[in-house]
Structure 1
Amino acid sequence: MAVPLSRISGVEVQDMMKAVARALRHVARVALWLAAAGLILMTVFITAQVVARYIFNDSLVWSEPAAVILMGWFIFLGAAVGIREGYHLSFDVLLYFLPETAKLWLYSISDLVVVGFGFGMVWFGSQLALSAWDVKLPSLGISGAFDFLPIVGGGVLVVLFSLERLARRAAGMPTARFGEADLVED
């Protein structure tokens, strides 16, 4: 039997949010590790291409498209984690003069805009991936949809992490802002 929302206390909501935040912290950590691995792997691929071309006078035809796909993954995964951790740039001059409640409203509006952008990434990225599904990347032998999957994956995380920020704020819990990620205790 479901418990009506009106019977859930503020402490219970915060406890639920802390559990969600812990889970999403792990998701963000995995995404960041995957992004770092992608950056390292891309660097290895490009280095191998340079060595093959200039030392062995041969070319690795797969290195450039593989590096581009990896670059998409580490950019979009890193951007999503940056949203969760509050490391994206913002224009805060007006916020210095506003009361705290107005700041919270503006932060929430900003997060809602980011949610919309994330949904756009998922929707339009999916459309691009579907349109390239039957195209085969000749140098890799895989579907052209793989070029667009980083947009979809990053968009899903952008939506998830932005909704977390909104939920934390609604529950009266802190959210990270640029340079203040240490304030958030999950």
Structure 2
Amino acid sequence: MARIARATGLLARGALWVAGIGLVSMTAMIACQVFWRYVLNDSIVWTEPASVMVMGWFIFLGAAVGIREGYHLSFDVVLYFLPDRVVKVLHTVSDLAVGGFGLAMIWYGASLAYRTSGNVLPSLGISGAFDFLPLVAGGALVALFSAERIARRAAGLQTARFGEEATID
């Protein structure tokens, strides 16, 4: 399990790097567009659709890493008053629900990509399917990281935190 945790940790770190690079790239594209439009009185036609596409990547990859790290939205006030065993069961139920959502992201994202694959994004000249690939990739990571959290809990290991090795509870 420790080997799997290291592999998914590297995957999460890579996804976070890609998300960070995407955020910086999107910011640069928008800055260039503003400069071109308001200073040079011209426009770069591809920056808006490209920045929206890049934004999809960094949102979904970043959200998947947040799932792995346990930073996703939760309401856990009641968990402080429950026995540890019940808390672990409720965390597992939560991870199952999140993993199911990740699988739905894969299914419906792939369906949308397939249905728009024949469309061409005019300013970019690429298939419309590329708009939905972040949904599929993010869903795959969400499902994988949710399954990892369940497996770690079942093996008696702590759930992953960014940069930490697998340890026994």
User: Which TM-score tier does this pair reach, normalised by the shorter chain?
Assistant: over 0.9
CA gap of 1:22–1:183, structure 2 versus 1, over 3 A, is closer
Larger Rg: 1
1:88-144 per-position Cα deviation (integer Å, ceiling 9, x unaligned): 121011111110110010000000001100000000000000010000000000000
Q: Distance in 2 between matches of 1:25 and 1:104?
A: 22
Partner of 2:143: 159
Partner of 1:65: 49
Partner of 1:30: 14
Q: Distance in 2 between matches of 1:46 and 1:57?
A: 15
Q: Which amino acid in 1 is paired with 2:135?
A: I
CA contact (8 A) 2:9 2:162 kept: no
Q: TM-score, normalised by structure 2?
A: 0.95
For structure 2, the 5+ residue unaligned runs are none
- Over aligned residue pairs, what C-alpha RMSD do you find? 1.2
Q: Which amino acid in 1 is paired with 2:91?
A: Y
Structure 2 residue 66 is the aligned partner of structure 1 residue 88: no
Percent identical among aligned pairs is: 61
Partner of 1:143: 127
Partner of 2:165: 185
Query: SS where residue 65 of structure 1 aligns?
Result: helix
Q: Distance in 2 between matches of 1:183 and 1:53?
A: 42
Shift, 1:185, TM fit: 2.8
CA contact (8 A) 1:122 1:153 kept: yes
Q: TM-score, normalised by structure 1?
A: 0.87
Structure 2 residue 114 is the aligned partner of structure 1 residue 130: yes
Aligned length: 166
CA contact (8 A) 1:174 1:183 kept: no
- Of 66, 78, 86, 1:102 maps to 86
